[in-house]
Amino acid sequence: MLKRLKLPGWLVLILLLVGVFFGFNKVIAKVFEEPTPTQPKEIVESSGIYPGVNIETQTKETDLYTLSVSRLYTKHDQINQQIDEWINEEKADFKSSIKDFEDSLRKNDLRAHLNIRAKTETIANNVYKFEFEAYQITGGANGVTHLKSFIVDLNQKKHLEIGDVFQLNDAAITDIKELVIKKLHSNDEDSFYIFDDLAEDVLADPDDWKWSISQDKVTFYFDQYEIAAGAAGALEADIPLEEIKPYLKKSIAEAINIKIPEQENNKSSQKSDSKKQTQKNTTLDPDGKYLALTFDDGPHPNVTPKILETLKKTDTKATFYMLGSQVKHYPSLANDVKNAGHEIGDHTMNHMDLSTLNSEKIKEEMESSHKIIEETIG
């Protein structure tokens, strides 16, 4: 038999039902409410590494990306500025890429990532190597890696540039390029992906070299996709100091305690001077035997520039027998040959088989070609 509830019992029951009702509504609301964006979380930490050299690490997390950037810095603004400019360029490139892929990132619930790692090494007293590796991945299937190095001299409060470390002339640049490309191909796995023409272009101007020096090697850096297929990644070519020391300046060699015999130190300049002296003093023997280089049927836009570049490397002169029809189409190339100091000859107008022509037609082929060549190059 059921007992009737007295007044206090009814109040307790009513309050219990109300609590259950409101609690249930809150649970339902929580389930169906819109997710709130991740609030950016950022942490910056600093610490010392060497006397006068510090590292700062910034980590940041948002709903679109994560970022971890290590920055090496000194107490000298003129040194820090160059480093900060490179790091800021990497950040700007990363954020620009995020904008391009933002819809895809949100749709697939993905986040982009930027990671800049830094390490340093002592080269000499108050001279350091700062190395950076920046890896970023946004909306593509593969990430991209960029490499950068700085040689910092705290004694002089500046970055050491290429001219502070190397003694360079045309012969030295050619030798160093050969050393680097040879080293790149010494790794069979990487060699398959390397494009020598791209490597040649990247190494053509020493001011564009990405390099560093340590107590046992000189390293050349190449970004991913810069000289090779993406599968090779970012590449480094380590040249032992023993091989490259003839091209180092005496001051840097002394700073890192590298002994360079005088004859080695002047190797590159001797090469160049020797060539000039040989050309200046050589007298040809009328009865001697010599080899003459000749190139026919040009000028050609794909072939002639490569020939000129090769001849320039060895300071060799040649004779170019040109077709009048080709000179008419490519007058600037004909002038390039002339300005490089090569001899130019007449190879007829249209390269017809002269044995099938009468004397009048042969004369026309020669004269018309001669006229065009003379008008073009003077």
What is the structure's pLDDT at 21? 57
Domain 294-377 superfamily per CATH: Glycoside hydrolase/deacetylase (3.20.20.370)
On average, the pLDDT of the chain sits at: 84
Across 114-138, average pLDDT: 93
Outline where the chain has alpha helix (H): 7-32, 77-107, 162-165, 170-184, 188-191, 196-202, 241-244, 250-255, 262-265, 267-281, 304-313, 324-329, 331-339, 359-377
Whether the predicted pLDDT of 234 surpasses 60: yes
Indicate the burial class of 258 (C-beta count within 10 angstroms; 0-12, 13-18, 19 or more): middle
Domain boundaries, the chain: 41-264, 294-377
Across 58-83, average pLDDT: 95
Q: In what order do the strands lie in the sheet with 217-222?
A: 211-213, 217-222, 235-240
pLDDT 10s digits, 254-287: 877 765 545 444 444 455 554 444 444 456 677 7
Across 341-357, average pLDDT: 85
pLDDT 10s digits, 150-184: 999 999 999 999 999 999 999 999 999 999 999 99
Across 230-252, average pLDDT: 90
DSSP 223: -
Contact criterion met (CB below 8 Å) for 212 and 218: yes
Only one residue has tokens 């008419």, namely 328
What is the structure's pLDDT at 161? 93
What is the structure's pLDDT at 263? 41
What is the structure's pLDDT at 264? 46
* Residue 236, amino acid: E
Task: Name the band, by pLDDT with cuts 50, 70 and 90, for residue 4.
Answer: low
- Give residue 177's region: left, alpha or beta (phi > 0; psi -120 to 50): alpha
pLDDT 10s digits, 278-331: 444 456 677 778 888 999 888 988 888 888 988 998 889 999 999 888 898 888
What is the structure's pLDDT at 147? 94
Whether the predicted pLDDT of 37 surpasses 80: no
- The CATH code of the domain at 41-264 is 3.30.565.40
Across 118-137, average pLDDT: 93
Only one residue has tokens 């996709």, namely 225
Lowest model confidence (mean pLDDT) among 1-15, 28-42, 291-305: 1-15
Across 119-141, average pLDDT: 89
**How many angstroms separate the CA atoms of 200 and 313, rounded?**
12
* Residue 335 CB neighbour total at 10 angstroms: 16
Give the percent of the chain with pLDDT over 70.
81
Side-chain half-sphere exposure of 119, counting CA atoms within 13 A? 5
Whether the predicted pLDDT of 90 surpasses 90: yes
What is the structure's pLDDT at 260? 54
Task: Name the band, by pLDDT with cuts 50, 70 and 90, for residue 1.
Answer: very low
What is the structure's pLDDT at 62? 93
Q: Is 18 helix (H, G, I), strand (E, B) or coil?
A: helix
How far CA 337 is from CA of 37, 103, 307, 330, in Å, comes to 65, 54, 10, 11
**How many angstroms separate the CA atoms of 180 and 182, rounded?**
5
